[in-house]
Amino acid sequence: MNINQIKCGLHVSISNGINLAVDRAKEKTCNTFQIFTSNPRSWRSRTLQINEIIKFNKKLHESGMKPVFSHIPYLPNFSSPNMIVYRKSVKSLVEELNRCNRLDISYIVIHLGSHLGKGRRIGLKKLTNAITTAFNSSNGKAILLLENTAGTKNSMGSTFREIQEIIDQISDNHRLGICFDTCHAFAAGYDLRNTTSIGETIDRLEEEIDLERLKVVHANDSKGKLASHIDRHEHIGKGYIGNNGFRSILHTDIFRKLPIILETPIDSQNDDSKNLAQIRKLAK
């Protein structure tokens, strides 16, 4: 696969109209992208107007940028023992599935949440019930991508085995896939710094999860050291994974064939364009 065939993009804004996300992705030379379909810091989601849905779908079709990924907002916690938060979270997921159905978005990345100290078994039950309820209560057919976590306190899904356990508990699991976040994996203890360690990580992944479920890579360097459980994204090559790690990741068949979405910082050091250019340089 040559560099032009690699699907690589960014998380782009929907400010002033969701259809403008396609324009922003094109301007930044993406050939795939990720969005929030609503305000990520609010429980309320604005109803999408039919004209903006039509514009989005038309622009998306004309751009050829597929697949497109939606990311669930920040507030939902599908593993929460707090029933008020839990019910709002399930409602949010149902709405997201329905919106993505109208927008012709096939994948929704979700964070798996925190059991808030009540224990992993309770968290697992809440999480799997939330996903099952959302599937049964929505019209959308998008695939939910379970994003691996960094292993912060009380979080769900920081190991491949835990993610497979979640998948096993859901009967309609053909609609489940995996989003592999490099920063989170590294912070959780999966070494990605060179070809050998990446091979070992893939072996562990293959032992515990069907590799066909991998649908996208969130490419983020890590501010935290290996197994630090610190969820802090860093610019590509500037963190503890480093350029050598990302070069090795991008030249590994299983990852190279997947769409790559960057969620790197924007600050005085670097911006989206520079991180995207760096990924493409390392992929050559």
Indicate the SS3 state at residue 126. helix
* Active-site amino acid positions: 41, 71, 74, 111, 147, 181, 184, 218, 231, 233, 263
Q: Residue 114: beta bridge partners?
A: 155
pLDDT at 88: 98
Q: What is the distance in angstroms between the CA of the first residue and the CA of the last residue of the chain?
A: 10
Give the whole-angstrom CA distance, residue 36 versus residue 14: 7
Taking alpha carbons only, the member of 98, 67, 82 closest to residue 258 is: 67
Q: Are strands 221-222 and 233-234 parallel, antiparallel or unpaired?
A: antiparallel
Give the whole-angstrom CA distance, residue 100 versus residue 176: 15
Give the whole-angstrom CA distance, residue 221 versus residue 184: 9
Please, what is the angle between helix 160-168 and helix 120-137, to 10°?
50
List Cα–Cα distances, 45 to 37, 42, 95, 139, in angstroms. 8, 7, 8, 17
Give the whole-angstrom CA distance, residue 264 versus residue 218: 9
pLDDT at 4: 60
pLDDT at 269: 84
Q: Which residues fall within 8 angstroms of residue 171, CB to CB, at 6 or more apart?
A: 132
Cα dihedral: 243, 248, 254, 257 (round 10): 60
Q: What are the start-end ranges of the H helices in 138-271?
A: 160-168, 182-188, 195-208, 242-250, 253-256
Question: Looking at domain 3-283, which CATH architecture does it have?
Answer: Alpha-Beta Barrel (3.20)
pTM beyond 0.85: the answer is: yes
Indicate the SS3 state at residue 111. coil
The continuous run of DSSP H or E covering 108 comes out as strand 107-110
In the chain, where are the structural domains located? 3-283
pLDDT at 127: 98
**pLDDT in tens for each of the 284 residues of the chain?**
555 679 999 999 999 999 999 999 999 999 999 999 999 999 998 889 999 999 999 999 999 999 999 999 999 999 999 999 999 999 999 999 999 999 999 999 999 999 999 999 999 999 999 999 999 999 889 999 999 999 999 999 999 999 999 999 999 999 999 999 999 999 999 999 999 999 999 999 999 999 999 999 999 999 999 999 999 999 999 999 999 999 999 999 999 999 999 999 989 888 999 999 999 999 99
